[in-house]
Every structure is written in C-alpha cells, then in structure tokens.
Amino acid sequence: MSATRILEGLGRFYIGLLLAFLYLPIVIMGLMSFNASPFYQLPFEWTTKWYEDLSRNTQLLAATWNSLEIAVITTVISTLLGTAASLALFRYEFRGKKFLQALLFPPIAIPWLITGTAMLIFFFGIGIGRGLHAILLGHVALALPYVIVVVSARLQTFAPELEEAARSLGANQWQVTMRVTLPWIMPGVIAGALFAFAVSFDQFVVSYFLSTPGQATLPVEIYAAIRKGFTPEINAVSTIIIAVSMGLMLITARFFRFGGEK
C-alpha cells in the first residue's frame, strides 16, 4: 500500500471521527426524545409522550416563541443595517474608516460574559432596564458585526466597474443598488442573515442577564429547567428546532448557492 493511500485513509478516518464527535450527541438526543424512559434506560421503547407533554408545557413554549420572535426581528434589523453599513464602507472613503472597520472585531472576540455584564450595567444606567426589548437590543448589537463582516467579504469580490457601467446607461443610485450590487452580494447577505439568526437564537449569556421572570428565551428556560431537574421535553423541543433548522438550511442550499450562482 502506497503512502498516498495510507494518508487518504487516515484523512477519511479523521473526518469520520470529527463528524461522529459533532453529530452523534445530536442523533442520540433525538432518539432519546422518543424513548419511554426519562432516565435513558435501555432497551429502547418507542413513545411520543415527551412531545405530548411539550405541547402542554406553556412555559417552555412561551420561551421558544420569545426566542423565535427575537431572532427573526434581530435578523431583519441586523441584515438591513449591516448590509447598508457594508455598502457605505465599500463605496465611500472618509476619515476614521479603518478605525471603524477595526472596531467590528472586538464585539466578536470579547467573551459574551463580559458583554452581557456591560450591557446590563449600561441599560440600567440609561433607563432601558431588562426585558424582551433589552434582549432585542443586545442581540442586534451582537449580530450586527457578523453581518457587516460577511457582507463586506462578499463585496471584496465585486467589480465597481459594474456600477459605473449601470450609471453610464442612465440608472440612478437606487437602481444601481437594487439591480446590480444587491444581486451580486446576495449570497453574503443570506449568509449574514443566517449568522444573525443563529447568534440570536442560540444566545444564552446576554439573554440570561437581560431577561426578566416570565420573559425568558429558550436557552435561559432550558438552563433553568436543567437546574430543577432534567426532563426529556427538552430533548423533544431541541429535536424539533434542529429538524427545522436543518430543513431551512437544505432549502437555502437548494435554491441559492453561496458561491454566487443562482
């Protein structure tokens, strides 16, 4: 056996281990959501009891709805503001531009524990306080840098000559943006929106600091439920979320290629 074949085999084995490490816990969690035993006892006994209990768990469902509502609003606001900011940074030269671009990375790198503490102090200082509105503001602030970075990276592959050609043919700035620039950067916009949704929906630390009793998001509610005693209903809601998320990703990948071709 040649050295090349050995390296290829080791590479495939490593990738297999990596995929198993990533997906086996998810698969096991999904299977356990259909297991009759609340303590993961074997042999496996099929049941939908935990999904039925989930449908009656108003607290967990309310937290899920809060997370979805905040994530969708965060995605819309972050995508609109982030795309506009990326276009401005791409098209215009002004004093302090490099400094502003550099400021996009610290919010991504700073631990969310520090960010959540800072937001809590700041929001109370200016009178915003805690609640869903504060969580929404915090999530937008966290998601916005991701959108700007992703869309700006896509804009680096855009040829400004295309905009100049459109203007020379009589198109105004709005037409240039909507018919030339936006279609080209749409893969970056979609990717940035997905990042924003994932950051918001999965956010625990900021949501934990800024939530109030009765207005918690799903990650905070799951944390509270685990502290009281684990219930397979958490497996059920997590399985539903993963299935919906993967479905949306597959639909997005089916109708839109992130390489830029539609």
- For residue 242, what is the domain's CATH number? 1.10.3720.10
Q: Is 207 part of any domain?
A: yes
What is the CB neighbour count within 10 angstroms for residue 248? 12
Which residues, 6 or more positions from 62, have their beta carbon under 8 angstroms from its beta carbon?
Answer: none
Catalogue the long-range contacts made by 92-99 (C-beta closer than 8 Å, 24 or more residues apart).
none
Mean pLDDT by 10 residues, the chain (262 residues): 78 90 86 80 81 84 89 94 90 82 82 88 88 90 92 85 80 82 86 90 89 84 78 83 82 62 46
Q: Is 42 part of any domain?
A: no
pLDDT score, position 143: 92
Q: Distance between CA atoms of 187 and 260, rounded to whole angstroms?
A: 6
Q: Is 1 part of any domain?
A: no
Q: Is 262 part of any domain?
A: no
Domain range holding 245?
58-255
For 236-248, give the DSSP string: HHHHHHHHHHHHH
Structure tokens at 14: 């490593």
Q: Is 7 part of any domain?
A: no
pLDDT score, position 256: 59
pLDDT score, position 187: 85
Number of domains in the chain: 1
Q: End-to-end alpha-carbon separation of the chain, Å?
A: 43
Q: Enter the pTM of the model.
A: 0.81
